Amino acid sequence: MLLFFIPCPGKIGFLCNHTLLLKKAKYDTCAVNTAACPSNYRQTLLKPMQQIIFWLSAASFIIVAIMRITDPILPIIASDFELTVGAASIIVTAFAIPYGLFQLILGPLGDRLGKLNVIVVSLGASSLLTIGCAATNSIETLAAFRFMAGIATAAIVPLSMAFIADHYAYEIRQPVIARYLSGIILGQIAGGSLGGIMADTFGWRAIFYVFGTLAGSM
């Protein structure tokens, strides 16, 4: 038996308080051959799952963008704190190291507490910590917030991939993964390009406010 949350209709990203208890074997059959399923069963299972995949892709878009937003603005941050670009690059390392290491820890936590539950908490923490980056007044404090943000965001991509593997039969999994990965690719593009444009226009702190708010709105 499989227990998971379903997003409220029309409110992507907001998880309802109710749950559905489903037989995975029956769901896999419908996922592979939708014609073999009653229309009401397809409506109950497949449409909500598509909403969840969209939400996971959007969440990963935001998280990957948060990871990449510092790349084009290092010279601006270095100038603001009167540092060299090399010294300011500590904020990139401070995010990347915990982001990689804590995937090993938070993955099993998702198995224990529920993958979607951990992803929601991670998004909330990422939002607060990213907004906190905008309020820092030293490179050390900024690096500390980026370090904690790296921990918070580490769970989202691997748990999203694991969720897809858990809920989609092998025969139709690859197209679903491709749709999900589009959010990650677009996040890399948006983080690198929008980061520089917004920093030049509104200042580097505005970037953290914007992407932190987006993470909190998911």
pLDDT in tens, 44-80: 556 677 888 899 999 999 999 999 999 889 999 999 9
Lowest mean pLDDT among 86-95, 120-129, 147-156, 198-207: 198-207
CATH superfamily of 52-217: MFS general substrate transporter like domains (1.20.1250.20)
The Cα 64–Cα 189 span in angstroms is 9
- How confident is the model over 123-127, as a mean pLDDT? 94
The Cα 68–Cα 78 span in angstroms is 17
Query: What pLDDT is stored for residue 45 in this prediction?
Result: 56
Q: Where are the domains of the chain?
A: 52-217
* Confidence band, pLDDT 50/70/90 cuts, at residue 129: very high
Give the other-Cβ count within 10 Å of 116's Cβ. 20
Model confidence over 182-214: pLDDT tens digits?
A: 999 999 998 888 888 888 889 899 999 999 999
81-110 CB burial, b ≥16 within 10 A, e <16: eeeeeeebbbbbebbeebbeebbeebbebb
Residue 1 DSSP symbol: -
